[in-house]
Amino acid sequence: MTDLEKIFQVIEKNRNNMITLQKELTKVPAMAPQNGGDGEWEKSQVLMQWLDKCGIPNVERINAIDERVSSGRRPNIIATIPGESTDKTFWIMTHLDVVPPGDTKLWDSDPFTVIEKKGCLIGRGVEDNQQSLIASLYAAASILEAGFMPHYTVKLLFVADEETGSEYGIKYLLDNYKLFRKKDFILVPDGGNEQGTMIEIAEKSILWLQFRTVGRQCHASAPDHGINAFLAASELVLQLNKLNEEYKEEDPIFDPPVSTFSPTKKEANVPNVNTIPGDDIFYMDCRILPSIDLDQVLQRITEIMSHIDKKYGVQSAYTIIQRASSPATPADAPIVHTLKHAIKNIYNVEGKEKGIGGGTVAAPLRRKGYDTVVWSKIDDTAHSPNEYCVIDNMVGDSKVMADIMMKGI
């Protein structure tokens, strides 16, 4: 039997411990104050005890001050497992917080009491992100229990505040501490697909814009006395929609492979039918390939607006509601390669690099220049009623993580 096989055996033996930890963690809902919760402190206490029980003594807690929660602190925990080499560190970052259950009538059971059914665990947080949190903990604990040492230093990072912006979590750590080195590799197991094949290495840039068009209000029986802001805005929407044809560049790792520009929300203008609106507001959601410069896109949008302004005599302006972009982790980064090997070894499937349209917690890491991949084998029930975790996925993912910890990169 190989060393790795021995470790996998220990992971299997720990299956029930992993299930018990799911139950213990779910009992202490760690919701952000803006979601009506009291933060992650109590849950972090449970986790600290468990790390101690698993023989992982080297644990530090970095607290971000937050007066809104009763402890006054949002905890970030780092558990370090020394490796044979200190050249690099293999980080696995998971988050402690959970989202609220939503309408509890949509749940078949109490969201904060885990029940086991047909090989699954059901409860708020069991998939997002406890499946991976526990998988990482037991990957490291099982290596130690089997009497081995990881190849490189392993650091398990359990962060706060992932669901509500990461200001007290990873962004706080990146802004105030020098934890990572450029040659480190980071796995964020907080996204994936049912087959375990999706390796997320890039995100489209997000640009949310509000467009306000100002004309002149008047009685609708004499439209010439005013300037119809709604009419001008309607042409502006159609012109902006043509950006979809203008930006044709494709990147096959994304689905869809192109940038998208979508008019979305529309605010009410006048309350009655017989008034020409002098003010109109709508919004656009743009998801733009990381290779495209957002300032250039905004420049193009300004040109389109000035054309409409001239044609209709209105004044239009945009406000940026959200702007975020991050560089892609290269498809040939060592972490991608090693992860693919491990996925093949455990699940016998081929991992595939993917880009996504939404923002994840990997973005702030990539912005600082750290190669980060997002991967896990999940049914993606996060944030839904009856959220569940497939126990085999939790155990399998733990083996994938152990495989990487033992082989290094």
Among 66, 128, 184, 371, binds Zn ion (CB under 5 A): 128
The set of catalytic residues is 97, 162
Q: Token pair of 336, please?
A: 């991608």
Contacts of 390 (CB under 8 A, 6+ apart): 119, 120, 377, 378, 379
Please identify, among the stretches 48-56, 65-73, 121-129, 193-201, the one whose residues bind Zn ion according to the rule CB under 5 A: 121-129
- Is residue 166 close enough to count as binding Zn ion by CB under 5 A? no
Query: Mask 298-337, x = binds Zn ion (CB under 5 A)?
Result: ----------------------------------------
Residue 409: half-sphere exposure toward Cβ, Cα within 13 Å? 24
With residues binned 3-state (H G I as helix, E B as strand, rest as coil), the percentages for the chain, rounded to 5, are 35, 25, 40
Angle at 329 between CA 4 and CA 172, to 5 degrees: 90
Shortest gap between Cβ of 360 and Zn ion (angstroms)?
A: 8
Please report the beta strands in 146-276, taking only residues with DSSP state E, as ranges in sequence order: 152-159, 185-188, 198-203, 205-214, 218-219, 260-266, 275-276
Shortest gap between Cβ of 192 and Zn ion (angstroms)?
A: 11
Closest C-alpha to 170, from 36, 366, 5: 366
Closer to Zn ion by Cβ: residue 40 or 280: 40
Please identify, among the stretches 182-190, 200-208, 324-332, 388-396, the one whose residues bind Zn ion according to the rule CB under 5 A: 182-190
- DSSP result, 1-22: --HHHHHHHHHHHTHHHHHHHH
Shortest gap between Cβ of 129 and Zn ion (angstroms)?
A: 4
Span 183-242, contacts to Zn ion by CB under 5 A:
190
# of chain residues touching Zn ion (CB under 5 A):
3
Closer to Zn ion by Cβ: residue 128 or 353: 128
Please identify, among the stretches 38-46, 129-137, 245-253, 298-306, the one whose residues bind Zn ion according to the rule CB under 5 A: 129-137
Closer to Zn ion by Cβ: residue 30 or 314: 30
Shortest gap between Cβ of 128 and Zn ion (angstroms)?
A: 4
Span 353-372, contacts to Zn ion by CB under 5 A:
none
> What is the C-alpha separation between 405 and 137, in angstroms, rounded?
12
Among 14, 44, 129, 131, binds Zn ion (CB under 5 A): 129
Shortest gap between Cβ of 59 and Zn ion (angstroms)?
A: 22
143 vs 22, 82, 176, 212, 262, CA distance in Å? Answer: 20, 11, 31, 58, 49
Closer to Zn ion by Cβ: residue 131 or 213: 131
Shortest gap between Cβ of 56 and Zn ion (angstroms)?
A: 22
Residue 182: half-sphere exposure toward Cβ, Cα within 13 Å? 1
Closer to Zn ion by Cβ: residue 99 or 227: 99
Phi and psi (nearest 5°) for 21?
-65, -35
Phi and psi (nearest 5°) for 94?
-130, 165
Closer to Zn ion by Cβ: residue 127 or 403: 127
Q: Interface with Zn ion by CB under 5 A: which residues?
A: 128-129, 190
